[in-house]
Structure 1
Amino acid sequence: MKNSKLLIAVSGGIDSVVLAHLAKQAGFNFSICHCNFKLRSEESNRDEVFVKELAEKLNVSVYTTYFETEKFAGENKLSIQVAARNLRYQWFYELLEEQKYDYVLTAHNANDNLETFLINLTRGTGLNGLTGIPSINKKTVRPLLQFSREEIQDFALTNEVNWREDSSNSERKYVRNKIRHEVIPVLKQINPNILDVFQNTLTYLNESQEIINNKIQEISKDVLIFDNDIIKIDIEKLKLLENKKAYLHQILNIYNFTEWNDVSNLLTAQSGKQLFSKTHRLIKDRKFLLLTEHKKENSQVYFIDENTKEVSHPINLTLEFCTEIDDNQQSSTIYIDKSKITYPLRLRKWQKGDLFYPTGMTGKKKLSKFFKDEKYSLLEKENTWLLCSENDIIWIIGKRKDRRFLSKKASLSTLKVYLTY
Structure 2
Amino acid sequence: MSYSEAREMFADWGVDTEAALDKLAGIAISVHCWQGDDVRGFETRAGASGGGIQATGNHPGRARTPDELRADLEFAYGMIPGRHRLNLHAFYLDTDETPDRDEIELGHFTPWIDWATAQGIGLDFNPTFFAHPKADDNLTLSHPDQGIRDFWIEHGRRCREIADGMAAAQGGEVVNNIWVPDGSKDNPVDRMGARRRLEASLDAILSPDYPRERVLDAVESKLFGIGVEAMTVGSHEFYLGYAIRKGAALCLDMGHFHPTENVADKLSAVALSVPDILLHVSRPMRWDSDHVILLDDSIRAMAQEVIFAELTDRVRIGLDFFDATISRTAAWVIGVRNMQKALLEALLSPQAQLKQAEAALDFTTRMILTEEIKGLPHAAVWDEFCARQDRPTGLALQSRLEGYQASVASRG
TM class by smaller structure:
under 0.3
Q: TM-score, normalised by structure 2?
A: 0.27
> Which protein shows a greater Rg?
1
Say which structure is richer in strand: 1
User: Relative contact order: is structure 1 or structure 2 higher (C-alpha 8 Å, sep ≥ 6)?
Assistant: 2
Say which structure is richer in helix: 2
